[in-house]
Amino acid sequence: MNPALHAFAARVAGQAISVFARFMTAPRAIWQGIEPVPRQRVYFANHTSNGDFVLLWTVLPASLRRQTRPVAALDYWLKSSLRAFIGREVFNAVLIDRRPEARTEDPVTQMVTALDQGSSLIIFPEGQRNSSDTALLPFKSGLYHLAKARPEVDLVPVWIANLNRVMPKGEVIPVPLICTLTFGAPIHLSGGEVKDAFLARATKALLAGRPDAEGRE
């Protein structure tokens, strides 16, 4: 395909996905701790649905959306040519191989490289979809290593509410519901802060964005 036509197809597909996501979920961004300004950030969110990063990406203003790349599973997004086109061309995702024995690149290095290229990132520190009764699964160490490698970059907690009900695991057809995404105050790695303490603080910052009703469940 002609490169210009390819890029046009990717833009159209991105707009179509964004419109569909807004139609199905009527997402509402709550900028509780920050404003949507052009600043490099790592948005870290809870993970209950395959649509999580799509919705987060969708609610960002267009100017921020263009510079924001989701960090996603390579094995999921390369399963078919359509998924590969969406993951690589539409979202420009940083594709991480979840199989340690098959990796040719270190995941943290991939993310740091994307930051050094000027991108913002969307990541899910739980590392997998949470289908348990707990609010969050224990965070993997990637967020800590990213914060340590680039301590000047804002780490912004984003609580995504209701999307697990819109797209339950195993379902193909979404259920229309209103979703909210609460953007909290950015955090940074403090001098001398050890991994476990930082991840506990990051977990607390993310949980602080839960809607009151959800927090009482």
150 token code pair:
């680039």
pTM above 0.85, yes or no: yes
Cα separation of 107 and 169, whole Å?
26
Of 54, 59, 94, the closest CA to residue 74 belongs to: 94
Q: What is the pLDDT of residue 102?
A: 75
Within 8 A by CB and 6+ apart from 90, the residues are 10, 13, 14, 17
The answer to whether the CB of 69 falls within 8 A of the CB of 94 is yes
Of 208, 172, 170, the closest CA to residue 187 belongs to: 208
Q: Which residues of the chain have pLDDT under 50?
A: 213-217
Residue 192, number of CB atoms within 10 A of its CB: 6
Cα separation of 61 and 44, whole Å?
17
Q: What is the pLDDT of residue 176?
A: 56
118 token code pair:
């000027």
Taken in order of first residue, the domains within the chain and their CATH numbers are: 3-215 (3.40.1130.10)
Of 97, 85, 92, the closest CA to residue 68 belongs to: 92
Bridge pairing between strands 94-96 and 68-73: parallel
pLDDT tens profile 43-94: 999 998 877 888 899 999 989 998 999 998 888 888 888 888 888 888 899 9
Residue 28, number of CB atoms within 10 A of its CB: 12
